[in-house]
Structure 1
Amino acid sequence: MRILQLLRAQPTQDGDGVNIRRVADFHRLALDPYLMLDEIRSDDEKDYVGGFPPHPHRGMETFTYIRKGGFEHRDQMGHVKAIRAGKVQWMSTGRGVVHSEMPLADAKDGLHGFQIWINMPAKDKMRPPQYQDSGELQHSVIEGDGSQLYLLAGAWDANQQQAQGPLTQLAADSALADLSLSANSSISIDFSRYGFSAVYLYDGSLQSPSGGAVTAGQLLVLDSQTQVQIVAGEQGAGMLLLAGNPIGEAVVQMGPFVMNTQAEIMQAVRDYQSGKFGDIV
Structure 2
Amino acid sequence: MSIRPISRATKGQKTLEGAGVHLSRAFGFGDPKELDPFLLLDDFRNDDPAKYEKGFPWHPHRGIETITYVLAGDVEHGDSLGNRGVLGAGDVQWMTAGRGIMHQEMPKGDAMGRMHGFQLWANLPAAEKMTAPRYQDVKSADIPEVTDDDGAKARIVCGEFWGKRGPVDGIAANPRYVDISMPPNLTKTFKVEVDRHAFAYIFAGKGDFAYASKPFGVLVEKEIAGEEMHLRDMSGDRTLVVFDRGDEVSVKAGPEGVRFLLVSGKPIREPVAWHGPIVMNTRAELTQAVTELKNGTFIKS
Match of 1:46 in 2: 50
Cα displacement (A) at 1:197: 1.3
Percent of matched pairs sharing the same residue: 37
- The answer as to whether partners of 1:61 and 1:171 remain within 8 angstroms in 2 is no
Match of 2:159 in 1: 154
Would the alpha carbon gap of residues 28 and 120 (structure 1) be closer, same or farther in structure 2, given more than 3 Å must change?
closer
Would the alpha carbon gap of residues 46 and 215 (structure 1) be closer, same or farther in structure 2, given more than 3 Å must change?
same
Match of 1:239 in 2: 260
Cα displacement (A) at 1:7: 3.1
Summarize the alignment of residues 103-114 of structure 1 with structure 2, pairs less than 5 Å apart: 103-104=107-108, 108-114=112-118
Would the alpha carbon gap of residues 269 and 151 (structure 1) be closer, same or farther in structure 2, given more than 3 Å must change?
same
Q: Deviations over 1:193-214 (max 9, x none)?
A: 7511110111221123222432
Matches of 1:166 and 1:54, distance apart in 2: 28
* SS of structure 2 residue aligned to 1:173: coil
2:242 is the counterpart of 1:221: yes
Summarize the alignment of residues 180-191 of structure 1 with structure 2, pairs less than 5 Å apart: 180-191=181-192
- The answer as to whether partners of 2:159 and 2:166 remain within 8 angstroms in 1 is yes
Summarize the alignment of residues 192-231 of structure 1 with structure 2, pairs less than 5 Å apart: 192=193, 194-207=195-208, 208-209=210-211, 210-211=214-215, 212=217, 213=232, 214-223=235-244, 225-231=246-252
State which of 99, 103, 108 in structure 1 corresponds to 2:103.
99
Summarize the alignment of residues 12-23 of structure 1 with structure 2, pairs less than 5 Å apart: 12-22=15-25, 23=27
- The answer as to whether partners of 2:273 and 2:282 remain within 8 angstroms in 1 is yes
Instruction: Provide the alpha-carbon RMSD of the alignment.
Output: 1.9
- The answer as to whether partners of 1:26 and 1:251 remain within 8 angstroms in 2 is no
Cα displacement (A) at 1:253: 0.8
The TM-score with structure 2 as length reference comes to: 0.86
* SS of structure 2 residue aligned to 1:266: helix
Q: Deviations over 1:212-245 (max 9, x none)?
A: 4322222112245333222211121111111110
2:88 is the counterpart of 1:84: yes
* SS of structure 2 residue aligned to 1:64: strand
Match of 2:145 in 1: 141
Matches of 1:52 and 1:263, distance apart in 2: 27
Cα displacement (A) at 1:278: 4.2
Would the alpha carbon gap of residues 106 and 147 (structure 1) be closer, same or farther in structure 2, given more than 3 Å must change?
closer
2:280 is the counterpart of 1:259: yes
Match of 2:9 in 1: 6
Matched to 1:57, the amino acid is H
Matched to 1:112, the amino acid is H
- The answer as to whether partners of 2:92 and 2:140 remain within 8 angstroms in 1 is no
Matched to 2:179, the amino acid is D
Worse-matched range after superposition: 86-95 or 210-219: 210-219
Q: Deviations over 1:153-200 (max 9, x none)?
A: 1222xxxx3111110222311121111112112332111175111101
* Runs of at least 4 residues off by over 6 Å: none
Cα displacement (A) at 1:142: 2.1
* SS of structure 2 residue aligned to 1:230: strand
Matches of 2:14 and 2:106, distance apart in 1: 20
Matches of 1:188 and 1:143, distance apart in 2: 15
2:197 is the counterpart of 1:165: no
Matches of 1:107 and 1:131, distance apart in 2: 28
Would the alpha carbon gap of residues 263 and 18 (structure 1) be closer, same or farther in structure 2, given more than 3 Å must change?
same
* SS of structure 1 residue aligned to 2:44: strand
- The answer as to whether partners of 2:32 and 2:38 remain within 8 angstroms in 1 is no
Q: Deviations over 1:37-84 (max 9, x none)?
A: 000111110110000000001111100000111101101112101001
Q: How many residues align?
A: 275
Matches of 1:54 and 1:119, distance apart in 2: 21
